[in-house]
Structures are given as structure tokens and as C-alpha cells.
């Protein structure tokens, strides 16, 4: 009996030890990023794990930099994110609701076409998007919003999976009572899917903060750093720091930390939805 207890305790200790080691391995690079953002350095390189000298100058520097208008980037990204959040959520929820709850002639074809379109690599369309926006003179933040919202119609899978789980009997009861489908959508569908709307909105909001590819292609041709969004601005900053102005490397890290913190927190809060999304997607195949 005693040996069993000892064995169990040993196993638990071992498992805790393993978890701690793994967690440390996982978090060391993240910790280094935070430490490096506080390190005093002008060689353009942080080669030690623990900074030799702490400073908050990197944060002061990036927030007041004239070469890298960080606050302009923040403002641009915020505007793009808010507009794209509102419009994308509207688009995504409408499509998901229609595909899940309504039955109409081109529902099946639409689902099939969406499946096929989703298999083309997104990069393929980027050159085309560039020329489309260029020929309409939209290589700016407005064009970026359009690209994000235009793509939202195909991001319906998670929300549709959610609507599919709401029992249809409530809709039917309401319709028997004389409600129109619009009233069902507004008074039953939307209130019951509040968590899904929040999730969709937050995802649409986060998108512009982490996308450096589309924003890079669309915004880079202006050559004016003040019109960049944050992700492309920072990405571009590192590429210019690799060349001549290596002094800004630690400022780059500071800028990264500033935007990574809120996004990380948002994402950690939403992790449960994220899992539901993946497993819901799995059912659809």
C-alpha cells in the first residue's frame, strides 16, 4: 500500500517537473523578446539573454520616432480594424445565417464554389488585387478595408457551424406565430448568437493588426511611411534595420511588444471559441 502511494507521488512530481521544463522551454523566447525590448543596445543586435543594462528608452524612442511614425501606424491600423470589423462581421454573419437557416436555390452551389475557391492559395490573387486596386486608384487604407471585407464572405464556416447547432424548432414556432424570417433573424438568430458575433468581430478586428502581407503589397507603393499599418510598418522597419540603421533594432522589439500584448490577451481570452471553430470545421470536412 505504501509503495503504491510513493509511486503515485513520484509520478505526480515527475509530471509536474516535466510540465515546468516544457513551459520554460516554450516561454523562454517570449521572455527574451520582452527582456530585449528593455535592453540598452546600439549595435543593432541583442546577443545576450539577460540585458546588460536596462532602459525604457526603446519605448520612448519608438513612440517619438520621426522616421518610424509608430503612432500614425497605430491610428491607421485602428481605423482600418474598426471599419473592417463592423463591415466584415455584418457580411460574415449574414452569409453564415443565410447558409445555415434559409433554404434557397443556389445554397448548395454556393457552398461548393466557396469550398473550391478556398483551395486556391491566397497569394495567387494578390497580384491581381494589386492591379485591381491600382486601376481604381485605391492603393490606400480604403482599398485595404475593401480587401478585408471582400474576403469576409468566405469566412463563414465557423459562424455557420455555430448557427447549425441552434435548434430550428424556435424559428419554426416563431414563423407559425406569424413572424417574418427577418424578424426571426433579428429577434431570435442574432440574440442567440451573441458569443459568435463577438468572436467574429474580434477576429476581424485582430486581422489588420497582424497582417503584414496584404497591407505590404497594397500600401508599400505609396512609399510614405505615415500611411502604413502597424504590422507592415514594423516588418518594414526590421528590413531597413538589417541594412543601414541597425540602431533601431531594440526599438523595433519595443514596438512589437506594445502591440503583441493586447492581441495576445484578446487571443487567450478567445481560445475556447478558437477550439470550437477548429472542431466545427472538422465536421464539415
Partner 1 sequence: MFKRKDKKPPKATYKEVWSKGGWASKLSFFLMGVSSLKNRQWVRGIAYLAIEIAFFAWFVMNGISALSMLSNLGAIKKKQLVFDKQEGVYITKLPDNSVTILLFGVLAVLLLLGIIFLYVTNLRATKKLYIDNRDGEHVETNMEQLKSLFDSRLHTTLMTIPIIGILAFTVLPTLYMISMAFTNYDSKHSIGFSWTGFQAFGNVLSGDLAGTFFPVLGWTLVWAVCATATTFFFGVLLAMLIESKGIKFKGVWRTLFVIVYAVPQFVSLLLMAQFLDPQGPLNNILMNWGLIAHPINFIGASASPLVARITVIVVNMWIGIPVSMLVSTAIIQNLPQDQIEAARMDGANALQVFRSITFPQILFVMAPSLIQQFIGNINNFNVIYLLTGGYPMNNNYVGAGDTDLLVTWLYNLVFGQTQRYNASAVLGILIFILSAVFSLAAYRRTNAFKEG
**CB-based contact 233:70 (threshold 8 Å):** yes
CB of 209 vs partner 1, minimal distance in Å: 7
Q: How far apart are CA 251 and CA 112, in angstroms?
A: 47
**CB-based contact 130:218 (threshold 8 Å):** yes
CB of 57 vs partner 1, minimal distance in Å: 19
Instruction: CB nearer to partner 1: give 97 or 248.
Output: 97
CB of 66 vs partner 1, minimal distance in Å: 23
72 class by beta-carbon count within 10 Å (0-12 exposed, 13-18 middle, 19+ buried): middle
CB of 227 vs partner 1, minimal distance in Å: 19
205 class by beta-carbon count within 10 Å (0-12 exposed, 13-18 middle, 19+ buried): buried
CB of 225 vs partner 1, minimal distance in Å: 17
Instruction: CB nearer to partner 1: give 6 or 278.
Output: 278
Instruction: CB nearer to partner 1: give 75 or 181.
Output: 181
Q: How far apart are CA 60 and CA 233, in angstroms?
A: 17
CB of 92 vs partner 1, minimal distance in Å: 8
Instruction: CB nearer to partner 1: give 177 or 283.
Output: 283
Instruction: CB nearer to partner 1: give 1 or 66.
Output: 1
Spell out where 21-129 has E strands.
none
Q: How far apart are CA 138 and CA 125, in angstroms?
A: 16
Instruction: CB nearer to partner 1: give 81 or 260.
Output: 260
Q: How far apart are CA 168 and CA 184, in angstroms?
A: 11
Amino acid at each position: 500500500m505504501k509503495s503504491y502511494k510513493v509511486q503515485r507521488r513520484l509520478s505526480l512530481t515527475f509530471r509536474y517537473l516535466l510540465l515546468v521544463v516544457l513551459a520554460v522551454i516554450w516561454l523562454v523566447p517570449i521572455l527574451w523578446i520582452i527582456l530585449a525590448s528593455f535592453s540598452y543596445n546600439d549595435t543593432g543586435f541583442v546577443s545576450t539573454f539577460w540585458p546588460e543594462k536596462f532602459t525604457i528608452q526603446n519605448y520612448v524612442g519608438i513612440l517619438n520616432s520621426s522616421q518610424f511614425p509608430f503612432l500614425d501606424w497605430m491610428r491607421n491600423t485602428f481605423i482600418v480594424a474598426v471599419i473592417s470589423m463592423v463591415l466584415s462581421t455584418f457580411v460574415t454573419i449574414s452569409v453564415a445565417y443565410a447558409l445555415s437557416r434559409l433554404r434557397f436555390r443556389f445554397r448548395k452551389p454556393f457552398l461548393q464554389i466557396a469550398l473550391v475557391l478556398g483551395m486556391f492559395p491566397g497569394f495567387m490573387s494578390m497580384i491581381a488585387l494589386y492591379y485591381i486596386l491600382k486601376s481604381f486608384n485605391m492603393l490606400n487604407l480604403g482599398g485595404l478595408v475593401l480587401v478585408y471585407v471582400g474576403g469576409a464572405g468566405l469566412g463563414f464556416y465557423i459562424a455557420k457551424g455555430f448557427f447549425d447547432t441552434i435548434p430550428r424548432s424556435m424559428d419554426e414556432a416563431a414563423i407559425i406565430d406569424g413572424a417574418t424570417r427577418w424578424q426571426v433573424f433579428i429577434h431570435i438568430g442574432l440574440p442567440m448568437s451573441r458569443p459568435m458575433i463577438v468572436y467574429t468581430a474580434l477576429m476581424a478586428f485582430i486581422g489588420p493588426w497582424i497582417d503584414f502581407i496584404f497591407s505590404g503589397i497594397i500600401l508599400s507603393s505609396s512609399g510614405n511611411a505615415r500611411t502604413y499599418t502597424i504590422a507592415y510598418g514594423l516588418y518594414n522597419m526590421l528590413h531597413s534595420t538589417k541594412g543601414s540603421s541597425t540602431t533601431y533594432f531594440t526599438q523595433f522589439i519595443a514596438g512589437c511588444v506594445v502591440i503583441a500584448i493586447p492581441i495576445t490577451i484578446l487571443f487567450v481570452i478567445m481560445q475556447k471559441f478558437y477550439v470550437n471553430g477548429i472542431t466545427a470545421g472538422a465536421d464539415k470536412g
